[in-house]
Amino acid sequence: MSSNTSESTADDLRAAARAWLAEHWSGDPTTVAAALPDGSSQSFVEKVIDAGWAAPSWPVGRFGRGIAPEIGQVVAEEFAKVGAPGAGQDIANLWANTLLAAGQPALIDQFLRPLLLGKVNMCLLYSEPGAGSDLAGIQTRADRDGDEWIVSGQKVWTTGGRSADYALLITRSNWDVPKHRGITFFFFPMRQPGVEVRALRQATGDSRFNEVFITDARVPDANRLGEVGQGWNVLMTALAYERAVMGQTWRRRADREDEAVRDVDDEASAPVPDLSLLDLARATGRSTDPVIRQKLTRLHAMRQVNEWNNARAKAALEQGTSTPLVSLGKLAMSGMLHYAGSLQNELLGAEATLAGRDSPRAADATYSLLNAFFTSIGGGTDQIQRNIIGERILGLPKEPEVDKDIAFRDVRRS
């Protein structure tokens, strides 16, 4: 595996990435598609990983190049310019980053590369019916049994649970210490007796979430992430990556970042906040309405500021630490989705109250408005993000925690 050092400049790294892409990337998507199902050793994505471009800020020997975090992002930028996949996984791949940060060496050796290739279906087993916003209140228990742990409990709001091979699972392994100190984190095998996954239907009509019932299922101690009873620290790292991803991945279906400025109804150089909303404004005859134009531009400005904040958060995450900055991005993304959904409905007017296949524009607007609540809840609610921002960024006093120093078995709970 080739490597650069942290002394490389951004220009050096950019030039190296361009040269590598010129040699290996044809722009033919079939070279990627062929790689994903059968794991061909000749696939482009595998070449990206083995060359250290998938996660350049990771260590040499762990599919990285030892690149300084603050300049590693230029690799993803160069790959995006030519439409090549595989880069940027040192931030965007929640599963691989968590495993690398907290996994035992043998577990990392077994799963890191398959996770980078997307060959392992994963899900998150965090939230419970009585522990959503306060994950430290989980009651799913893990009891040691030799070289294994026996797990029983219930999880909810699990995305991808029905297709998952493994899960990131938090459990209660010690009930005699305060709630944050008795948690143990596992890389949990889903396809085993004692794991039942049931679909949950959402307001949008989708069933993207599941509830998971675990009854005397087993997980090897070798699959433990972090130390026994120190799972809260691992969880904070994993949540930071999850919120970073949720804070930067939303793109409306027709939007392109390289088209950030173009003419809007003959007014040169007007910003394009969101092409699908702009097209809708034109279709409804509202594109010349100064109030609508102001709202479109405001959405564009919100997105631009959030991208700058995401860059700050990414630099902090690449240095191997969690950061409260990702909560800013997560909260901002939630606000933008609600704002865009409301604007979409405003553009349609009374038509937005229609539904069904005969009214595809209205159906899409309704879906957008309802689906915005997914980001307001998933990965930590908006209220939790505001608490984190207030306490860890603004330095405001922490909220009272009356059960902080009480053994968990003595805490009143549902």
pLDDT tens digits in sequence order for the chain, 414 residues long: 444 444 568 899 999 999 999 999 988 766 665 544 444 445 899 999 999 999 999 999 999 999 887 788 899 999 999 999 999 998 889 999 999 999 999 999 999 999 999 999 999 999 999 888 789 999 999 999 999 999 999 999 898 999 999 999 999 999 999 999 999 999 999 999 999 999 998 877 778 889 999 999 999 999 999 999 999 999 998 988 887 676 554 433 333 322 222 233 333 333 333 448 999 999 999 999 999 999 999 999 998 888 888 777 777 766 655 678 888 888 998 999 999 999 999 999 999 988 777 888 888 888 888 888 888 887 778 998 899 899 989 999 988 888 888 999 998 876
Cα 239 to chain centroid distance, Å, stands at: 8
Distance CA 95, CA 113 (A): 11
Element (H, E) at 298: helix 290-318
Four-residue CA torsion sign, 41, 104, 186, 63: negative
CB 286 within 8 A of CB 347: yes
Selection from 70, 398, 56, 381 nearest residue 243 by Cα: 381
Judge contact between 326 and 244, C-beta under 8 A. yes
CA gap 156, 219 in Å, rounded: 19
Q: What are phi and psi of 17, to 5 degrees?
A: -65, -40
Instruction: Please give the structure tokens belonging to residue 96.
Output: 């691989």
**Please, which residues have CB within 8 angstroms of residue 195's CB and are 6 or more apart in sequence?**
212, 213, 214, 217
Phi, psi of 168 (to 5 degrees): -85, 115
Whats the size of the chain, residue-wise?
414
Q: Are 199 and 162 in contact (CB under 8 A)?
A: yes
Supply angle C-alpha 306, 311, 315, rounded to 5: 145
* DSSP letter (8 states) at residue 166: E
Considering the entire predicted model, what is its pTM?
A: 0.76
φ/ψ (deg, to 5) at 178: -55, 155
3-state SS assignment for residue 309: helix
Q: From CA 349, how far away is CA 27, in angstroms rounded?
A: 42
Non-local (6+) Cβ contacts of 410 within 8 A are none
Q: Which residue has tokens 């002394």?
A: 7
* Spatial separation of the C-alpha atoms in residues 236 and 232, rounded to whole Å: 6
Token pair recorded at residue 153: 């409990």
H or E segment to which residue 41 belongs:
none
3-state DSSP call for residue 337?
helix
Count CB neighbours of 280 within 10 A.
20
Strand 122-125 to 166-172 pairing: parallel
Q: Which of 140, 240, 237, 242 shows the shortest CA–CA distance to 183?
A: 140
Mean pLDDT of the chain: 85
What 3-state DSSP class applies to 143? strand
CA angle 13, 19, 21 (to 5 degrees): 100
- Which one, of 129, 124, 204, 201, lies nearest residue 164 by Cα? 124
* Cβ-based burial of 350 (10 A; exposed 0-12, middle 13-18, buried ≥19): exposed
CA angle 38, 41, 43 (to 5 degrees): 75
Burial of 405 (0-12, 13-18, 19+ CB in 10 A): exposed
Q: Is 143 left (phi over 0), alpha (psi -120 to 50) or beta?
A: beta
- Nearest Cα neighbor of 339 from 315, 306, 386 is 306
Q: What is the pLDDT of residues 81-101, one digit of tens each?
A: 999 999 999 888 999 999 999
Domains and CATH numbers, the chain: 10-92 (no CATH), 122-233 (2.40.110.10), 250-380 (no CATH)
* Beta pairing partners, 169: 125, 186
